[in-house]
Structure 1
Amino acid sequence: MTGTEELLPADLIGRRLLRVTTSWHHDAANDATLLHLWLHLEGLGPVRVHTPGTGLSLTVDQPHEPYSMAEYGNVSVLDDSPETPVTRFVGRQIRSVREIRYRDGRVDFAAGLTLLFPDGSVRLLALDDELVVAHDQHLGAVEAHLDEDVTIARAVQTCGGCPAQWDAWTTGGQYLYLRYRHGQGSVEAFPSEDPVHWGGEGPGLRSAWDDGTSGGEIDLTDFLAMAGLHLAPDAEVHPYR
C-alpha cells in the first residue's frame, strides 16, 4: 500500500506495531499539542491517524518533516515519544479494533477507536477536532458519553470444537460470529446470524489472534477475554448440543 491510501479499522488487525511517530505543535510558551500520529505497522508501513472533523481518518502516508508556522509556533516530529501511551505497545500485534461512539442524548457519532494488544489497550479519540491518545478512563466528564459495544447479552454455541464457534449478540443488538480453530480466534460482525444475508456487507472483522497452540476447543469466557469482550451479568448462554 502506498501514498495516502484510506484504510478501514479492520485493516489494522493482526499487524505488529513497529514504531510510533508523532508531530507536535509548540506555541510561543512552548506548550505542546499533539497534531498527528503515525503507527508504523508490519506489512502496511506508516498509517497516519488524523482528525479531519468528526471521527478518525486512517491513511497510509509518510510522516512529514518538522516545520515553522511563523507567529503560530513550530511543529516537531518525534519517533517513539514517551509522552504518547501507544508507544509502550511497540513490538506487539493489534489483536482487536473496536469503535468508540460519543452519545450525549443530542448527538451520536464515531469518536474513535480502541486498539487491543495482548497486554493492554489504548484509545485513539477525536474530541473537539483534537487527537487524544489515552489509556484507561481518565478523561473526566466526557467518559460518561463514550460507549463501546463490547458486552455479550446472548451466545449460542453452534459447534463444540475444531472449530469452536458461537452466534452471539451484544447488548447493543450487534450480531457477532465467534470462531476458534488451530489456536486462531476471530470475531466478525454481520447483519444477522443467517449467512444468506452476509454477502460483502457489514462491519466485518473485529478481532483476530493466534495463541500459538493448535487448539480447537476453548471456553467462551476465555475466548471473550482474548477478544476484548465480556458477558453481561444476566447473559443468556446456550452450550453446544
Structure 2
Amino acid sequence: MEQVRLMEVLMNATLASVVDNLLNLTATRDTAEGGGRAHTWVQIGANTLDSLNTKNDPLLAFVDRVPTWKKFFVEPIPQLYDKLKESVKRWPNSHAVQLAISPNASVAETVAAMYCLEEGFQEQRLGTDLPYWANQLCSFDPTHAMRHFPGKPVRAVNVTAVSVPEMLSRLGLQAVDVLLIDTEGFDAQVVRQIPFDRIRPSLVLWEHKHLHESRHATEEYMRAQCYAVFQVDHENTAGLALPLFGG
C-alpha cells in the first residue's frame, strides 16, 4: 500500500517531492523493522560538490537527511577529486572515490583519457570567461567540451576507469539505495552496467541531456528492469526511476 501511494505521488511530482516521499517511506520501513538495514548513496560524476558546483545538483539538499547512510561520491579527474575530498567532509559517513566508469563493461579496469576544458580548471578570479560549470564537461568524448565552447583548448587527462560491478566490489557494496549518474553523455552505458540481478536501487537518476538517440532506448531498458521511469526536467537531470516491485 505504501508503494502504491508513492507511485500516485510520482505522477505529477517534482524531484524534490519524489525524494522526500522516498526518504519518508524508507524511514517508516526502517522503524517498522526495528532499526532497518544500512543504506547507501552513490553519486557517479560528482565533480567538486563545492558551493559553485552544487547549484545544479538537485539532490544534495537531501544529503543532510541521511546522516547514517554510507555515501560515496565518485569523481575521476585528479584536480576535481582533490576538491571533492574536502567538500564531502561536511557530511558524516561520506567518502570521495577517484574512479571513472568505463564505457566498456567487459573490462574490469583500464586507463583511459577524458577530455576537459583547459580553462575549466582555473579559478574565476584568475580571469577565465567561462561559467562556473565549465569544469563539469569532462568526458570520454573528445568533442564534447568543444561543442559547448568552440575554439577553447581541451586537455586530455588519464584516469582509472572501471566497470560498475568492479566499482561496487571495490567499495564493498552489496546494495545501493540511491544511485545518481552524471557522466556527460555516457549515462546510457553506465545504466546498462548496473547489475540489477544483485542490486535494486530505490532511486536511479541519470542525465538525459546528452543522450540524444540513446535516450529513449535507455528509458525502455529501465522499464524492462521493472522500473517506472519519469522525466524530471528537460535539461540538467535526466530520468528518474523507481522500482515497481520491492525496493
For the criterion TM > 0.5, the same-fold answer is no
- TM-score after normalising by structure 2: 0.23
Query: Which is strand-richer, 1 or 2?
Result: 1
Larger radius of gyration: 1
Query: Which is helix-richer, 1 or 2?
Result: 2
- TM-score after normalising by structure 1: 0.23
